[in-house]
Structure 1
Amino acid sequence: MVVLSFQPVNFSHCCSPKLSGNNRSITVRCGIAEPSGVPAPFGQKTKYTDGLFEKAFMTLFARKMEKFAASDSRSKSNTKGGKGAKSLFDYDYESFVDVSKRVMQGRSRLQQQQVVREVLLSMLPPGAPAQFRKLFPPTKWAAEFNATLTVPFFHWLVGPSEVVEVEVNGEKQKSGVLIKKCRYLENSGCVGMCINMCKIPTQDFFTNEFGLPLTMTPNFEDMSCEMVYGQVPPPFEEDPASKQPCYADICSVANPSSSVCPKLQA
């Protein structure tokens, strides 16, 4: 969930940025194919319509992660021409999630997080973290600016979101991002994937590589998530997410009968 480019993007084919409410918060609803226009209820997968922009990012991330993923015996038969290597338009969100699952295989919690860190670093030009630190020191403005960028740039990964006002160190600021229902979590159905492949590595990347603290707080009851730029994340052992049980009915990766998701254990 790292900003890869600051070039302007045309959202007209799939997105509708809107200013809502008296506080003029930014909301972007992209690709939702549900008749209601909002994510499906808990336990149901939201239907999305992905355009070229979304598929390009899915392909970029998936191809980088494939280098660390366990082999997929189905890949040869499932790709065009049976050649194994997927082309640009062979990737969709399900195949992107499948790559994430295969990255987890045979790796500990810390090893999974390290893979994500390496993938994120591989997408940036040399010296990017240092340049980011110069452009965006840990200030209120930097936190609010990155929150604003997160909404349109990462709808493909997490679904609809909006900028919200939060309190950081006793000061109110619009550096929060409320993800309505995380697409990654609802498609994986795995608490461990949410935490090890998204939450922890993204927090660490912004906090340690970019120097801009970030805390992500997933709500496992409704699959929403709040991101707060400028807020230092708690140690893993003190994070409530570290004690979160598996989803008993929809977990497809780890043992759903475990009191704590096995993928959260080192």
Structure 2
Amino acid sequence: MGPWTGEREAAARADARRAAARGATTAAVDGEAHAAPASTTRPPLETYVMYVPSESEGESSRDVRSTFERLSSVGAGGYIDAYDSDEDLSDDSNSEDRRALDRALEDLDFAQSSDNKCCCVVHETSSSSSAETVRFGILRGSSATYRDDVTEYEDGVLDAVAIELFNAKLNAVVGAREEGEDGERLRGFARLVRLADKLSDGRGVVEQRDAVTRALLSIIPAPVRWAFKRLIEPATWVDEMNAKVTREAFAWLVGPCEIVPRESDGAMASVKLKKCRYLEQCGCTASCTNFCKIPTQRFFKEAFGVDARLDPNHEDGSCMMTFGVKPDVVDAAFAAPCYATCAKSCGTSDEPCHRLGKQPEF
């Protein structure tokens, strides 16, 4: 489960891309071409250019493939798209193609002499070219950059303060001694994940869930919680307000998210987490459920009197949070198996994770 996270899964995907890349290779020297099937889908590209000697077709083909293999061995894969040139590009200094080739060649140490007439373009998948950066969090002060195998976060000042506040609440439960020296050296979200992991040591799932729920509730002053539940009746507009509060004030815990229509009636009372920050970094089915899902559902019910249901997707790391909807009587989250890369995994069985515990009643 969870092929989107973990070094083993990342390595497997890289191998698959390299294999697909070799299958998508085309090579042409002095007019002879061997093309890949038309159905091949090409990824976002960063272009590398090299000249291939036109004197010897055999040597040229080997040069192209050798270069491709070298690029693939240090990158995420790629493919060759080679073509034959009828003119000597080096003689046309004003050519846009010539300038493009020169720019590409500046960064390469394997370029051949400029008097070659056959030009081959080597394309390689670039993590930077395919990366997507999203602003999120309190006042949009944080950013998340989604790359192929990992998400890079840069916390804004306000989100960093929120993380440290939550860490302090967790540490009050875990205790500095129990956290240990390694945890003390960590800062920010890495420390949060460390504390969450320590929280599960020597504690049953019920105690874990209760501790995290108390930590979340302590962020909202008790008088505010009391007044909200006494003065505001459950309604669609309340569900929509909680969706907005989640997106604006709690994204530091789960990463970028957006408000989407609630499936039952179309009200804007659901929040779609693009790729849960906590789940990606903890890589643990049980921690997702016992540290995040159950405590969060309880938090909104106890703090604001609002029903909430979290539905994590362990295939892609996303999650749907729906307000105004009770958790399922039979929750699919409690049937999820371990991640193969989890340090506490019991194996790759399809059986539910051994650390999930029983589903609570709401």
Opposite residue 262 of structure 1, the aligned amino acid is H
Unaligned runs of 5+ in 1: 1-13, 18-27, 80-89
- Higher mean C-alpha deviation, range 145-154 or range 252-261: 252-261
**1:58 maps to what in 2?**
163
- When the two structures are superposed, what TM-score results if normalisation uses the length of structure 2? 0.56
Name the structure 2 match of 1:9. Answer: none
Aligned pairs for 1:154-233 within 5 A: 154-168=250-264, 171-233=265-327
For residues 143 and 303 of structure 2, the distance between their equivalents in structure 1, rounded to whole angstroms, comes to: 31
Q: 2:193 aligns with which of 90, 94, 97?
A: 97
The amino acid of 1:265's aligned partner reads G
CA contact (8 A) 2:135 2:256 kept: no
- Please identify the structure whose Cα radius of gyration is greater: 2
| 1:262 CA drift (Å) | 2.2
Is residue 188–residue 252 contact of structure 1 (8 Å, CA) maintained in 2?
no
Alignment partner for residue 111 of structure 1, among 204, 207, 218?
207
Of 154-163 and 177-186, more deviation after overlay is shown by 154-163
- Relative distance call for 1:110 and 1:129 in structure 2 (3 A) is same
- Secondary structure at 1:216's aligned position in 2? strand
SS in structure 2 at match of 1:163: strand
Q: Is the 8 A contact 1:207 1:232 kept in 2?
A: no
1:127 counterpart SS class: helix
SS in 1 for 2:269: strand
Instruction: Tell me the matched-pair count.
Output: 220
Structure 2 residues not aligned, in runs of 5+: 1-133
Q: Percent identity?
A: 34
Return the match for 1:129 from 204, 222, 225.
Answer: 225
In structure 2, the partner of 1:67 is 172
Looking at secondary structure, tell me which structure has more helix per residue: 2
Identify if the C-alpha distance between structure 1 residues 69 and 123 changes in structure 2 by more than 3 Å, giving closer, same or farther. same
Is the contact between residue 136 and residue 143 of structure 2 (CA under 8 Å) also seen in structure 1? no
Q: Which runs of 4+ in 1 moved over 3 A?
A: 14-17, 253-258
Q: CA RMSD in A?
A: 2.3
Structure 2 residue 143 is matched with structure 1 residue 31:
yes
Match of 1:141 among 221, 224, 237: 237
Q: What amino acid maps onto 1:182 in structure 2?
A: C
- What corresponds to 1:152 in structure 2? 248
TM-superposed deviation, 1:29: 8.9
